[in-house]
Amino acid sequence: MKWVGGKSRILSQLLPLLPPGAELMRHVEPFFGGGAMFFARRPERALLSDVNPSLVNVYESVRDDVDTVIEHLTRLSARHVQKEQEHYYQVRHRYNHAQRLASSERAAMFIYLNKTCFNGLHRVNSRGEFNVPAGRYAKPRILDAELLYAASAQLKKAEFRCVGFEALLSNARPGDFIYFDPPYEPVSSTASFTAYAQDGFGREDQERLRDVYSALDRRRCKLMLSNSDVPFIRDLYAKFRIDVVAAPRAINCDAKKRGSVSEVVVRNY
C-alpha cells in the first residue's frame, strides 16, 4: 500500500544500519504502517502492531483470507474503470457508514481507497471517518494478485496486534530487534500528518515513546527508530547513537517544495 512516510525509498540506507545478527532475532514493529521494513527483510519470526484497527484488519485478512480479498478487489477494480471518481465516493461512503461488512470486504475497500485516493494519504476526521478526496490517476493498479499472495505468505510468519507502542513493555523480549517508525515530529507548524489515527500523535506521545525506548534499551533489545531531524527529537534521544539519512518527500501540493529532507535514525547499538 501507499503510505505517507513509508520507508520503501530509503531501505537502501536503513538496511545497512541493522544490528549484526538481525536475521536471527525476532522482528518487532509497533508502528507497522505500510510495512516496508518487514516485507524487505522477510523475517522468520515477527510481532507486528498498529493502533489503526482498519489497517490491522487489512493485514490479518490478507494473511488469513487472501482469496476473498482478491475477489472483492477484482469487482472494485472493474467498477472503478467504469465510473472512476463517482465509484470512489460511493465506496468511501459505504466504507465509513456500512454497519455490517465482512473483514475481507472491508480490507479490500481499504486497499481500493488507498490506491485511488489523493497521494495515498490515510487521514480520518474527529468521527474516525476516512475523508481523503479522490486522486487523479490514469490507470491505478488496484489489484496485484501476485503481490497479495506473496504478502499473505510472509504475514503467516507474523503475529499481529491492534495495540499501542507501550504494549511493548509487556511483549518485548531481550534480543528482539525493534524498529520504531512513529508519526514524525513536524518540521514546521504546517507539516504534520498525525491525523492518520483519530487521536493524533503529539509531543507528549513522543516523550512517552522515548521512555519506552529507554526501558527496552535496559531490557537489552536491539532498537532502531526513525523520526524527523529536528532539535526536539535529537534532544530526546541525545544519549543514543544518531545517524542521518536523506528521505524524498512527495506529499506537497506545491511541486517546488518536494525533494529530499534529512531524517534521524536512532540506535542503541
Whether the pLDDT of residue 24 is over 60: the answer is: yes
Residue length of the chain: 269
The H or E element spanning position 61 is helix 53-64
18-28 average pLDDT score: 97
The type of residue at 253 is: C
Query: Candidates 2.60.40.10, 1.10.1020.10, 3.40.50.10860, 3.30.365.10; correct CATH number of 60-149?
Result: 1.10.1020.10
> Phi/psi of residue 130, each to 5°?
-65, 125
Confidence of residue 254 (pLDDT cuts 50, 70, 90): low
Fold of the 8-51+163-267 domain: Rossmann fold (3.40.50)
Reported as a pLDDT band with limits 50, 70 and 90, residue 80 is very high
What's the pLDDT tens digit per position in 46-72?
999 999 999 999 999 999 999 999 999
Give the pLDDT confidence of 220-236 residue by residue, as tens digits: 999 999 999 999 999 99
Residue 202 pLDDT greater than 70, yes or no: yes
Domain chopping of the chain, boundaries: 8-51+163-267, 60-149
- Given the C-alpha cell 503529539, which residue does it identify? 202
pLDDT grade, residue 187 (50/70/90)?
A: confident
Judge whether residue 256 has pLDDT over 90.
Answer: no
**DSSP character at residue 184:** P
3-class DSSP assignment, residue 244: strand
Q: How confident is the model at residue 200 (pLDDT cuts 50, 70, 90)?
A: confident
99 versus 254: which is more confidently predicted? 99
Average pLDDT, whole number, for the chain? 92
User: Alpha-carbon distance 115 to 119, whole Å?
Assistant: 9
- Got the DSSP string for 70-114? HHHHHHHHHHHHHHTHHHHHHHHHHHHH-S---HHHHHHHHHHHH
Please indicate whether residue 75 or residue 193 has the higher confidence score (pLDDT).
Answer: 75
Band of the pLDDT at 146, cuts 50, 70, 90?
A: very high
**pTM to 2 decimals?**
0.90
- Which residues contact residue 33 at a Cβ distance below 8 angstroms, ignoring those fewer than 6 apart? 3, 5, 6, 50, 55, 181
Q: Residue 250: pLDDT band by 50, 70, 90 thresholds? A: low
